[in-house]
Structure 1
Amino acid sequence: MVVIKNKCISVSYSDPNFVIVVVAAAAVLLSLCVVPVSAAAAKQELKLRFGRNGEFKILQVADMHYANGKTTPCKDVLPSQVHGCSDLNTTAFLHRIISAEKPHLIVFTGDNIVGLDATDAAKSLNAAFAPATASNIPWVAVLGNHDQESTLSREGIMKHIATLKNSLSQVNPLGAHAIDGFGNYDLEIGGVKGTRFENKSVLNLYFLDSGDYSTVPSIPGYGWIKPSQQFWFERSSAKHRREYMSKPEAQKGPAPGLAYFHIPLPEFASFESTNFTGVRQEGISSASVNSGFFTTLVAAGDVKAVFTGHDHINDFCGELTGIQLCYAGGFGYHAYGKAGWKRRARVVEATLEKTEKGSWGAVKSIKTWKRLDDGHLTAVDGQVLWSKKSSGNRRKKQIPIT
């Protein structure tokens, strides 16, 4: 079920030396307020819940880099693939993978369009998301560092995305008057209808705007998740934990959470080739400063995995301090890639546990795999990201195609 957050956050962040963090924290905590849910939020009240088979599947699509359709050439493909290759190959891949996986939710993690090459941002967005809107499957999106480089501002891009068919995206939490970025929101996934968990959120999804580029003159490079966003996340996470651990059906610990944004955290650089599943074929293009969001995630205790894009030819998952840090791998054909290395998408599937009475209960495990854009939509690198009995368990296996 999707529950609209009605908090008001009032804080801004601009100090290059991070000396106002404590003051900003106090300002945010003092300014949190509750506002009524408006009629404009009605479509966000659509309910997401686990299916009657006890599963909930999420398809992550990273870095489509969509531009102008048929006239937009592909990048980094084999010589035999160049002729006739365009944005339409991205569209065809998206149609195929939606049809094959039949996800409950599609998540686009930024650089949905490549602004500098898109003549009309709204038209490019419509074309990029067309397979999702045609599928009648709920979907959401966050922004990358290239989306706003065309004819719409960053805010304008998110406003347009929020109006599209089947989109559950939000520009920002309702009442958040001074939160950094555009596209910070969360969704709650309810238990199976007709069970004791149908009114509980058994899986929480967090979406954040990781920014585009630093606006602080003394700090070069990409953007990062700011204190105002972290305070919003902390408050949202605390609310989810409180509700999940309260009656009825009070649970002993928090429901698992997943976080999605575009730019990887600096902690993605923590892994060697022996302690992750997938490949690392380029550097970790995180912000040049560490905003501390990973520490915030660890302290909250509910997020079990983080999913990003941005670095197109990295597609690994690695576990750090109980949290899996995962890339999706590049999806779009107008995005840079590696000739001969297939475009791909990441699938995540959460499975519920069976209760003693044969009903469905809380989340038992979360697993993932990737689908390649080849003749068979080959599934690779299947692994368990988290399980209720053994947090952080990692297992390599081939996922059979169904």
Structure 2
Amino acid sequence: MDPGNSMSWIHSFLYLCLVIASVHVLNTIFISPKLALDHQNARVKRVAPLPLRFRADGTFTILQVADMHFGNGKLTRCRDVLESEFEYCSDLNTTRFLEKMIQLENPDFVAFTGDNIFGSSASDAAESLLEAFGPVMKSGIPWAAVLGNHDQESTMTREELMSFISLMDFSLSQTFPSVEETSNHNKQHPVPKIDGFGNFDLRVWGAPGSSFANSSVLNLYFLDSGDRAFVDGIWTYDWIKESQLNWLRRVSQKVQEQKLDSKESPIVSPHSTISPSLAFFHIPIPEIKQGPIYNVVGKYREWVACSLVNSGVLNTLVSMGDVKAVFIGHDHKNDFCGTLGGLWFCYGGGFGYHGYGKAGWPRRSRVILAELAKGEKSWSGVGRIKTWKRLDDEKLSKIDEQILWERRP
């Protein structure tokens, strides 16, 4: 063998060994740790205690958080604040406001009604969601969220967003709805062919030790109102579809049938067996824009942004009979409650500092308080539902307290 060829072969072999060794070192030090599961730090989702239940004092408090518009944390600047506030204002102001509201109101449940993150400002949707919902996860309070029209503008689709949210600590959100089989109330299966991601219902049981401790007395409906749609050559906001309304009718009917079949004594009268319900979604319905709206409490500051399509949401809710109030977001400068068809529709008001607002007009949040009626010996069903708002000012001022519903004798 030619000595020159022999040396060339040896050099090639050594070079190949060097390349293999280099790849191994890079994989061991830099790549594998990122791909491999860290079994020491891995943990399962922390699950909220169920069922949701009224307190022993007969109350159940819900904190509504509308339009956080969270971006990239401290790197994301505030919008529409005073010039003196701008330099030190970021998403962290939104985080602090949520922390203060949780501490002050000590809610039993937190409802996020969409545009939780501002997709175009969030470089990583998962990271933004973890930061945005961080305070409520840290508190251990059960919570749920629906999507708005901006959440999906980052790195996740709407389905991926809801799946991720449903896996977060203490979240009761669901990507797809489920119904109970009539043969087994504890067994559930997905509802097929329904539009949207994040249609689900939650039930709140009576106070411990009461005659209603083992049955639901308040129902919470969550609906995906979508994002954008193209209709007759025009871009418009999305709407709640007929498949969602059909599902909602079935759930409402099942809940009320179970209540009517209950062996527990009526609360006050035959009408008392119907449990009140509350609904939560993001985009307002066209009737709010068309009006007239009655009994307005709060500020109507901006034109209602809704779909061109009227899918019959109001008629459905009225015909169901159990829904007493609907809580929405989307229009940040509107924070009013008003009645349509005998139902209350309440805006949460803009919560987040990266969402648009009005300089000098504090960000705000809505609180909903359900109170049980007093029976002969213990708490019975829901007797009254109230609401008010809190401003993110020095005193966390409480404004516009009102009664949304009271049970008739």
Shorter-chain-normalised TM-score: which range? 0.7 to 0.9
Aligned-CA RMSD value: 1.8
Report the counterpart of residue 77 of structure 2 in structure 1: 73
Q: Is the 8 A contact 1:276 1:316 kept in 2?
A: yes
| Residues 1:367 and 2:386 are matched in the alignment | yes
| Residues 1:106 and 2:136 are matched in the alignment | no
Within a 5 Å distance, the mapping from 1:347-386 to structure 2 comes to: 347-357=367-377, 359-386=378-405
1:41: how far off?
A: 12
1:133: how far off?
A: 0.3
Flag structure 1 segments of 5+ consecutive residues without an equivalent: 1-39, 391-402
1:84: how far off?
A: 1.3
Q: Deviations over 1:122-155 (max 9, x none)?
A: 0000000000100000000000000000000000
1:219: how far off?
A: 5.0
1:43: how far off?
A: 4.9
Within a 5 Å distance, the mapping from 1:120-199 to structure 2 comes to: 120-174=124-178, 175-199=190-214
1:220: how far off?
A: 2.8
1:322: how far off?
A: 1.9
The amino acid across from 2:383 in the alignment is K
C-alpha distance 234-250 of structure 1, shift in aligned 2 (>3 A): farther
Report the counterpart of residue 91 of structure 2 in structure 1: 87
Q: Deviations over 1:166-186 (max 9, x none)?
A: 101000113123210000000
TM-score by length of 1: 0.84
Q: Is the 8 A contact 2:294 2:340 kept in 1?
A: no
Percent of aligned pairs with the same amino acid: 54
Cα distance in structure 2, aligned partners of 1:333 and 1:209:
24
1:267: how far off?
A: 1.8
Q: Is the 8 A contact 1:172 1:184 kept in 2?
A: yes
C-alpha distance 159-313 of structure 1, shift in aligned 2 (>3 A): same
1:214: how far off?
A: 1.2
Cα distance in structure 2, aligned partners of 1:240 and 1:44:
22
C-alpha distance 313-360 of structure 1, shift in aligned 2 (>3 A): same
C-alpha distance 104-169 of structure 1, shift in aligned 2 (>3 A): same
| Residues 1:203 and 2:207 are matched in the alignment | no
Which SS does the other structure have where 1:214 is aligned? Answer: strand
Which SS does the other structure have where 2:141 is aligned? Answer: coil
Is the radius of gyration larger for structure 1 or structure 2?
A: 2
Cα distance in structure 2, aligned partners of 1:343 and 1:271:
26
| Residues 1:313 and 2:325 are matched in the alignment | no
C-alpha distance 348-270 of structure 1, shift in aligned 2 (>3 A): farther
Cα distance in structure 2, aligned partners of 1:308 and 1:190:
24
Within a 5 Å distance, the mapping from 1:245-264 to structure 2 comes to: 245-249=260-264, 251=266, 252-253=270-271, 254-264=274-284
Which is strand-richer, 1 or 2? 2
1:247: how far off?
A: 2.3
Cα distance in structure 2, aligned partners of 1:344 and 1:193:
32
Q: Pick from 286, 292, 295 the counterpart of residue 275 of structure 1.
A: 295
The amino acid across from 1:292 in the alignment is G
Cα distance in structure 1, aligned partners of 2:81 and 2:373:
43
Cα distance in structure 1, aligned partners of 2:141 and 2:159:
24
Q: Deviations over 1:325-363 (max 9, x none)?
A: 110100000000001111000000000011122x00011
Q: Pick from 214, 228, 235 the counterpart of residue 250 of structure 2.
A: 235
Q: Deviations over 1:285-313 (max 9, x none)?
A: 11111100110000000000000000000
Which SS does the other structure have where 1:267 is aligned? Answer: helix
Q: Is the 8 A contact 1:244 1:250 kept in 2?
A: no
Which is helix-richer, 1 or 2? 2
> Which moved further from structure 2: 343-352 or 245-254?
245-254
Which SS does the other structure have where 1:349 is aligned? Answer: strand
Report the counterpart of residue 15 of structure 1 in structure 2: none
1:61: how far off?
A: 0.1
Q: How many residues align?
A: 350
Which SS does the other structure have where 1:210 is aligned? Answer: coil
Q: Pick from 350, 360, 363 the counterpart of residue 343 of structure 1.
A: 363
Report the counterpart of residue 344 of structure 2 in structure 1: 324
The amino acid across from 1:190 in the alignment is W
Cα distance in structure 2, aligned partners of 1:247 and 1:68:
49
The amino acid across from 1:346 in the alignment is R
1:195: how far off?
A: 1.2
Cα distance in structure 2, aligned partners of 1:194 and 1:53:
11
1:218: how far off?
A: 3.9
Q: Is the 8 A contact 1:271 1:318 kept in 2?
A: no
C-alpha distance 368-158 of structure 1, shift in aligned 2 (>3 A): same
Cα distance in structure 2, aligned partners of 1:193 and 1:127:
34
Q: Is the 8 A contact 1:219 1:288 kept in 2?
A: no
Which SS does the other structure have where 2:354 is aligned? Answer: coil
Which SS does the other structure have where 1:299 is aligned? Answer: helix
Q: Deviations over 1:21-66 (max 9, x none)?
A: xxxxxxxxxxxxxxxxxxx999588210100000000000000000
